[in-house]
Structure 1
Amino acid sequence: MEITIRYYAGARAAAGCAQESGPAGRTLDEIVDELAGRHGDQLARVLRAASFLVDGVTCHDRRTPLPAGATIDVLPPFAGG
C-alpha cells in the first residue's frame, strides 16, 4: 500500500512534480529524508522549512508510521503582503 505526497508552491518547483507516491508504514521523518535524497538540495532546503499536513491535519509527531492511503501535503513558507 502507498501514501500520496502533494507539493505546493516552492516545494512543487523544487521537486519538479505536483505529487508522487511512496510506501506506507514509514514515518514522516523517513519520508522527508528519502525525498531530499531523491530530489536534491533544493527540495531539501524547502523541506527543512516546510509544514506538513497528514490527511489535512498538521503533523505534530513526525515519528509515527503513516497508514496506507494517507495524503501528505508539503507546504513551504508562504510570503504575503
Structure 2
Amino acid sequence: MATVRYFAGARAASGVSSEQVPAGTLAELLADLADRHGAPLTRVLSAASFLVDGVAAHDRAVPLGAGATVDVLPPFAGG
C-alpha cells in the first residue's frame, strides 16, 4: 500500500486530504486514482507534478515500494 497526499486543487477534486491505495507503478496508481475519483481529479492529475517519498517523479513507470508516500501537487498560482 502507498499513501497518497493531495494538496490544493487535488484535495478539492478528490474530496480527501489523503488515502491508502495499492502500490504498483506511479502510472498504475494514477490510473487507479482517476477511476476512484472521476473526471475532476483526472483533469488535475493531467497537469500535476508528483513527489514519491519527497523526490520529484518524472518517470511514471517508477515502481512504488510498500509504504511509499506520493504527493499530488497541482499547478500553483500566485507570486
Q: What is the CA-CA distance between 1:13 and the residue it aligns to?
A: 0.3
For structure 1, which runs of at least 5 residues remain unmatched after alignment?
none
Corresponding pairs, count:
79
Corresponding residue for residue 36 of structure 1 = 34
Q: Structure 2 counterpart of 1:21, which letter?
A: Q
> Where in structure 2 are there 5+ consecutive unaligned residues?
none
1:1-81 matches, within 5 Å, as 2-24=1-23, 26-81=24-79
* Cα deviations by residue, 1:14-33 (Å, 9 ceiling, x for unpaired): 00000001112x11111111
In 1, the alpha carbon distance for the partners of 2:21 and 2:29 equals 8
Structure 2: which amino acid aligns with 1:19?
A: S
Structure 2 length as normaliser, TM-score?
0.95
RMSD value over aligned CA atoms?
Answer: 0.8
Q: What is the TM-score normalised by the length of structure 1? A: 0.93
Offset from partner CA, 1:29-70 (integer Å, 9 cap, x none) = 111111111101000000000000000000022112210011
Quote how far apart the aligned CAs of 1:9 are: 0.2
